[in-house]
A and B are shown apart, each in its own frame.
Chain A
Amino acid sequence: MSVVVRDGVAGAVSIDVVPARPSWLLGVFLDALLGVSAYIVSYWLRFGSERLAAFLPGAWSTVPLVVGAQILALGALRAYAPKPKATWLSRVVAGIVLGTAASALLVRIAVGFQGISRMAFLADALLLSIAAIGWRGVWVLRTRARARALSRASVGDLVDRADEMTLGVVLLSIYRYRTLIKTLVLKDLKLKYRGSVFGFLWSLANPLLMIVVYTLAFTFILGIRSEMFVFYLMLGQLAWTFFASSTMMSTASIVDNTGLLRTVQFPRAILPIATVLFNFAQYLLTIAVFLPIMIAWYGIPLAEPMILFPAVLVLHVAFTIGTALLFATTTVFFRDVRHLVEVALAVLFWTTPIVYELDRVPERLRLLILLSPMSPFVVLYQKLFFFREWPDATVWLVAGTYAVGAFVIGGALLLAFEDRFTEQV
């Protein structure tokens, strides 16, 4: 979107609100490449490596149709126009969804779904959306970094403070502003438990009460005799609570901190990141207390896959931070996001295998459940501690894509719009 200033200032000044686009040829090429990969990966996710061979011919025969339809839809929605009028990202998502739907319809009419996975279309649309927005986000960051490096080079001793904000700097700033993050986390902790008699003990009391209630409910009321079930449930439940409360709180992290925004300039990403770390601190604390207790209580033997726990934590935190950045930014411009997130979380809880096991889900729906945003992380925790086996590559792939995708997209979005936060809130 470009604003041309007519009156007031001498001469017309053109301001690029969203930085320059890649050429349409490069855009089409990258989207086509990612489209083919996403489609094939979807088949792999759906059928696993052992049954993949049987379905690959069907996949290869339909790939030109699917990718072609997606690219055409993207083009029709002007996602490749040098300066499309409305928001760029929503056009990309809409183009991919429409293109995939159209191609599914064409496949249905032309050849039927014999040997072709319907679920793969859904997975394809999701993965391609993440990839397509992801590379565009990287592009935006790159052009910004380049423009700012240019302006930095020309001014010598003086510097435009806002130019110092790049994704690298934001990552570094987590370290540079560690005191601020610590103070913000402590602030939230203090404010949360200020005036309560038990104070911080509440963050331990909650999971404890949950364990008691679940044990009572499942063992005595529902009659599920497996005591281990409560352990299974708690693994998912604690991970979910960390994600859900981080996401919920992050929607308020910028709009409710207007005062801080208006004192001095600091990387705005600090605020949602601090919110996530506040929840992460509580999560770690409960994990640190309950995991050993439960392992001892249920007599679970230690197993080698458990050493991967830190890796899962890193992915989980990266994904949660990315989501928090995304919602913190969008809430500034659309306050509905807060309510939308609230509803979406209620739905997502049941599309995540927390109360049930992924492997008991009907086979054709399993991929869909796995693609639900929090599923791969919850499944990873369960694999490590409950099943005590090495998780499949597919789960790692989905978790990794989600973590990196959310982080890049959320970070790019926040960086692209943080200049306008103080005026909006």
Chain B
Amino acid sequence: MHTVIEAQGVSKQFLLRHNASVELKVRFLGLLSPKYRESIEEFWALKNVSLQIARGQAVGLIGRNGSGKSTLLKLIAAIHRPTSGRLLVAKHSRISSMIELGVGFHPELTGRENVFLNAAIHGLTGEETEAIYRDIVSYSGLEHFIDVPIKNFSSGMYMRLGFAIAAMLAPDILLLDEIFAVGDADFQLRCLDTIKRFLDQGKTIVFVSHSPDAVRMICGRACVLDHGELAFDGDVENALYTYSRILYGERAIPRPPEMSAVASIPITESAPELDAKSEESAAWLFDRVAQEGLRPSDRVLHFGNSSVATTERWRSFLQENHFAGLVNDASLFSLPADTGLFDVAIADSVFPFRPFNTVARCIASVVRKLAPNGRFYATWFENPDAANFDPIVQPNGVTSFSDSEPYHYPLALIANVCDAVGAMVERVPSTGHPGGESLLVISPRR
């Protein structure tokens, strides 16, 4: 890993001067009345942030307004200096940035003159700028306006010109702040293409956005800032989830009352033929999920034919974060909106031991309640006999399956349902399952 940006315990303090004025009149009034007195508040925009960004990474910075994202970007660009700590960038790397819209443009100058001014600030010579000038103009699509004073530009046109310059300067590090806030869809797509090309060329991008979609599309890693502190640094999905937790707080994940009521009911309902297997099956699934990486902080929705012993095991591992339900319980299919999101959902011996109708509704309800990085595990019985599928060809040529026991609908149907609700399903074949079942992993599509 070749580090190009390194923040070592970086803090940034701004002094907010309320009633700031050096004027004598105001100073004098301040002696008389506290209303006019200057008060200085220390505001920490960043607190002890340490991170390393390697060459070729695209890192998203997410967080609420005022959480320090833009400040961090400005520190990387060396526009501000850290109050303490150090911010280092690779030697001789060219940094181009789009941090504030239209900043660095002189309103009285024409587009063309501004291009040359901007390129000169970045250290380009006149000939170098001349060489990329045509590309900048055609990329921005502002051929007709390039000789007009820039004060007549719209904010979208500012964005176009700014991004065109930033992109054509061939930077090693590109700093972008909310570039998709203005600009039409067409230009946004072009920006995306350029950014992807940059990444292919091994350039480094630091990207501030409030749009989860944009972050997902561009970034392979994301950092969440909260009140100036680094709350999370890692993969995008977990970062977005952390961010949503910061945004909605505990309000987002209240303990659903009806679910906890259900959790206290001993789970006894199970198909008679599964009695012998259910203990083994639930234990196998627990081990399997734990192996995939289960944390006590994960919020788990758990339903199906698990035995009492395994349910206890789940509960003692997850404690408050464990929510159990019965597949037949109507509350499962209409989980209340304020239930919050689940990291993991478990359906034990539900597919394909229930009517397809039930299973489809179950998938739709659970996927809706999954965190962006959430996973939904379901045991799947691989029916060895395809003839048992019993397809029914209807007069209009549509093939359907009977929705009665033994419910031998094919995996393709499950996949179609998942597709329709914006998720994808993956089958993990397993020979180790005691009951001959395998595992399905359903996750929201990225």
B123 sits at the interface (CB 8 A)? yes
B117–A9 touching, CB < 8 Å: no
Known: A191-B109, A263-B103. A423 touches B14 (CB 8 A): yes
**Residues B31-81 near A (CB distance < 8 A):** 42, 44, 47-48, 74, 77-81
- The answer, among A159, A183, A260, A265, for a CB contact under 8 Å with B77, is A265
**Residues A149-166 near B (CB distance < 8 A):** 151, 155, 157-162
B400 sits at the interface (CB 8 A)? no
- The answer, among A190, A334, A336, A419, for a CB contact under 8 Å with B81, is A419
Q: Which residues of the partner chain B approach A266 to less than 8 Å between Cβ atoms?
A: 121, 123
Known: A262-B99, A262-B103, A264-B95. A158 touches B88 (CB 8 A): yes
Q: Which residues of the partner chain A approach B126 to less than 8 Å between Cβ atoms?
A: 179, 182
Interface of B is mostly: mixed
B88–A9 touching, CB < 8 Å: no
A223 sits at the interface (CB 8 A)? no
Which residue of chain A is the closest to B129 with respect to CB atoms? A179
B100 sits at the interface (CB 8 A)? yes
A158–B90 touching, CB < 8 Å: yes
Q: What per-residue 1/0 map shows which CB atoms of B97-116 lie under 8 Å from chain A?
A: 10110111110110001001
B120 sits at the interface (CB 8 A)? yes
A180 sits at the interface (CB 8 A)? yes
A180–B108 touching, CB < 8 Å: no
Known: A158-B6, A262-B99, A264-B121. A8 touches B42 (CB 8 A): yes
- The answer, among A10, A194, A260, A336, for a CB contact under 8 Å with B121, is A260
Q: Which residues of the partner chain A approach B79 to less than 8 Å between Cβ atoms?
A: 261-265, 422
User: Distance (Å) between the CB of B2 and the closest chain A CB?
Assistant: 8
Number of A-B contacts (CB under 8 A): 121
B44–A8 touching, CB < 8 Å: yes
B84–A5 touching, CB < 8 Å: yes
User: Distance (Å) between the CB of B389 and the closest chain A CB?
Assistant: 62
A158–B3 touching, CB < 8 Å: yes
Known: A176-B123, A266-B121. A160 touches B106 (CB 8 A): no
Interface size on B (CB < 8 Å)?
49
B349 sits at the interface (CB 8 A)? no
A9–B124 touching, CB < 8 Å: no
User: On chain A, which size bracket covers the interface?
Assistant: 35 or more
Q: Which residues of the partner chain A approach B125 to less than 8 Å between Cβ atoms?
A: 179
Q: Which residues of the partner chain A approach B100 to less than 8 Å between Cβ atoms?
A: 262
A344 sits at the interface (CB 8 A)? no
Q: What per-residue 1/0 map shows which CB atoms of A400-425 lie under 8 Å from chain B?
A: 00000000000000000001101100
B121–A162 touching, CB < 8 Å: no
Pick from B22, B88, B103, B129 the residue with the most CB of A within 10 Å: B88
Q: How long is the Cα–Cα vector from A334 to B23 in the complex, in angstroms?
A: 10
Known: A8-B42, A162-B78, A180-B121. A259 touches B84 (CB 8 A): no
User: Distance (Å) between the CB of A2 and the closest chain B CB?
Assistant: 13
A177–B77 touching, CB < 8 Å: no
Known: A9-B84, A158-B6, A161-B78. A177 touches B89 (CB 8 A): no
Q: Which residues of the partner chain B approach A51 to less than 8 Å between Cβ atoms?
A: none
Q: Which residues of the partner chain B approach A422 to less than 8 Å between Cβ atoms?
A: 74, 79-80
Which residue of chain A is the closest to B48 with respect to CB atoms? A9
Known: A155-B88, A159-B88. A190 touches B113 (CB 8 A): yes
Known: A10-B48, A179-B126, A183-B116. A5 touches B121 (CB 8 A): no
Q: Which residues of the partner chain B approach A177 to less than 8 Å between Cβ atoms?
A: 120, 123
Q: Which residues of the partner chain A approach B48 to less than 8 Å between Cβ atoms?
A: 9-10
Q: Which residues of the partner chain B approach A262 to less than 8 Å between Cβ atoms?
A: 74, 79, 99-100, 103-104
B104–A265 touching, CB < 8 Å: no
Q: How long is the Cα–Cα vector from A182 to B95 in the complex, in angstroms?
A: 22
B109–A190 touching, CB < 8 Å: yes
Q: Which residues of the partner chain B approach A182 to less than 8 Å between Cβ atoms?
A: 120, 126
Q: Which residues of the partner chain A approach B77 to less than 8 Å between Cβ atoms?
A: 264-265
Q: How long is the Cα–Cα vector from A7 to B227 in the complex, in angstroms?
A: 14
A184 sits at the interface (CB 8 A)? yes
User: Distance (Å) between the CB of A40 and the closest chain B CB?
Assistant: 41
Which residue of chain B is the closest to A263 with respect to CB atoms? B104
Q: Which residues of the partner chain A approach B80 to less than 8 Å between Cβ atoms?
A: 422-423
Q: How long is the Cα–Cα vector from A151 to B42 in the complex, in angstroms?
A: 27
A339 sits at the interface (CB 8 A)? no
Q: Which residues of the partner chain B approach A190 to less than 8 Å between Cβ atoms?
A: 109, 113
A334–B22 touching, CB < 8 Å: yes
Q: Which residues of the partner chain A approach B99 to less than 8 Å between Cβ atoms?
A: 262-263
Known: A9-B47, A158-B89, A160-B86. A263 touches B123 (CB 8 A): no
User: Distance (Å) between the CB of A271 and the closest chain B CB?
Assistant: 11
Q: Which residues of the partner chain A approach B251 to less than 8 Å between Cβ atoms?
A: none
B87 sits at the interface (CB 8 A)? yes
Which residue of chain A is the closest to B127 with respect to CB atoms? A179
Q: How long is the Cα–Cα vector from A276 to B123 in the complex, in angstroms?
A: 20
B144 sits at the interface (CB 8 A)? no
Which residue of chain A is the closest to B86 with respect to CB atoms? A160
Which residue of chain A is the closest to B109 with respect to CB atoms? A187
**Residues A9-37 near B (CB distance < 8 A):** 9-10, 13, 15
A160–B120 touching, CB < 8 Å: no
Q: How long is the Cα–Cα vector from A13 to B89 in the complex, in angstroms?
A: 23
B83–A264 touching, CB < 8 Å: no
B307 sits at the interface (CB 8 A)? no
Which residue of chain A is the closest to B52 with respect to CB atoms? A158
A160–B97 touching, CB < 8 Å: no
B108–A263 touching, CB < 8 Å: no
**Residues A248-263 near B (CB distance < 8 A):** 259-263
Q: How long is the Cα–Cα vector from A257 to B91 in the complex, in angstroms?
A: 27
User: Distance (Å) between the CB of A265 and the closest chain B CB?
Assistant: 4
B281 sits at the interface (CB 8 A)? no
Q: How long is the Cα–Cα vector from A153 to B152 in the complex, in angstroms?
A: 48
Q: How long is the Cα–Cα vector from A184 to B106 in the complex, in angstroms?
A: 11
Q: Which residues of the partner chain B approach A15 to less than 8 Å between Cβ atoms?
A: 83-84
B81–A260 touching, CB < 8 Å: no
User: Distance (Å) between the CB of A164 and the closest chain B CB?
Assistant: 9
A9–B108 touching, CB < 8 Å: no
- The answer, among A8, A160, A179, A259, for a CB contact under 8 Å with B87, is A160
Q: How long is the Cα–Cα vector from A245 to B242 in the complex, in angstroms?
A: 57
**Residues A89-135 near B (CB distance < 8 A):** none
Q: Which residues of the partner chain B approach A335 to less than 8 Å between Cβ atoms?
A: 22
Pick from A158, A263, A423 the residue with the most CB of B within 10 Å: A263
User: Distance (Å) between the CB of B336 and the closest chain A CB?
Assistant: 39
- The answer, among A157, A180, A336, A419, for a CB contact under 8 Å with B90, is A157
A9–B11 touching, CB < 8 Å: yes
User: Distance (Å) between the CB of B213 and the closest chain A CB?
Assistant: 28
User: Distance (Å) between the CB of A196 and the closest chain B CB?
Assistant: 14
Q: How long is the Cα–Cα vector from A190 to B121 in the complex, in angstroms?
A: 18
Which residue of chain A is the closest to B169 with respect to CB atoms? A264
Which 9 A-B pairs have CB atoms at the shortest separation, nearest pair first?
Answer: A263-B104, A158-B88, A265-B78, A161-B78, A180-B120, A13-B84, A183-B120, A8-B44, A419-B81
A–B complex contacts, Cβ < 8 Å, 24 sampled: A5-B13, A5-B42, A8-B11, A8-B13, A9-B84, A13-B84, A151-B86, A155-B86, A160-B89, A177-B120, A179-B124, A179-B129, A180-B121, A180-B123, A184-B120, A259-B103, A259-B106, A260-B104, A262-B74, A263-B99, A264-B95, A264-B121, A266-B121, A423-B80
Interface contacts beyond A158-B91, A183-B116: sample of 20 additional A-B pairs, CB < 8 Å, sorted by A = A5-B11, A7-B42, A9-B11, A9-B47, A13-B11, A157-B90, A158-B4, A158-B89, A159-B91, A160-B87, A177-B120, A187-B117, A262-B79, A263-B103, A263-B104, A263-B121, A264-B79, A264-B96, A265-B77, A335-B22
